[in-house]
Amino acid sequence: MRQISEDGRRILSDAAQRHGVSLDAVEHLILALAASGGSQAQFNHPDLGGMGQWSQGGMIMIGDMFNNGLKAKVDWLCQDLAGLLRGQELFAPAPVYQSQQQGGGVSLFVPGSYGQASGWPEELGQPSSVGSQNNLRYAFFPATRRLAIDMGGALTIYDTGDHQIGGFSQQQGGDQSLTFTSQYGLVRVGDLPVVRGASPGPQPEARQEPVQPIETVVETQWIQPISAPTAPQPGEDDIFAKIERLAALHAKGILTDEEFSTKKAELLARL
């Protein structure tokens, strides 16, 4: 992030008093304006109505959308700061650096690297920051919301959306994974939508094994019908036993004389 000089902080403090906002809100806005060269700003600060966006000669949006007084106040403040940015030197000289970070990352963020757009597509505009490490270099273009990354001669351009990028880091390792910080925290470059990139090389065709025909063999088996088992015929002993039970029921009065005689005759007929 670019560092505001002592003289710049004094100038911004006067601007904060003129517009009746905090110095922190003014510094937040001036950094957002500097990222686009003074033409627009994306911000998120409670003194400014929360999350919002301002464009030179264009629209102004704030989180407190129905507060027209605050909207006009933010608009005048942005115009004033954009004029200060063009006419005053507010930032301290920013040296180019690559510093080691915790977790094995290398910082690639070079603040305030205006005019270093050599080799980048002209339609992207002016970069607010550029950097390089080994065979990788990048440039961030806030006006067009684009991030260009050149890795070994292969250029890929990403859509940064509403991210307010504040710094990049590259993990140590072969994959050279890039991350950056914005108002949403740590974000992977690989999660951004790709606008334009190098065409992928030819992919090997999937090898298809020949399909062997499947022969279905149906074996017919002759099944002999199985006749239903014949119910066993009651033997003589079984018939006499049933007659004795009937006699016992007759003696107890459960069966009448007629019923006993009928059942006895049926059983004797089976002999």
Domain parsing of the chain, residue ranges: 6-87, 105-196, 236-268
- Write out pLDDT tens, residues 131-186: 776 677 888 888 888 888 888 778 899 998 888 776 666 655 444 567 777 767 77
- Which residues are within 8 A (CB) of 179 and not within 5 positions of it... i.e. 6 or more apart? 105, 168, 169, 171, 186, 187, 188, 189
Where the chain has pLDDT below 70, the residues are 1, 94-118, 133-134, 166-177, 183, 198-235
Q: How far apart are CA 38 and CA 17, in angstroms?
A: 21
The enclosing H or E element of 261 equals: helix 257-268
- Write out pLDDT tens, residues 211-221: 444 444 444 44
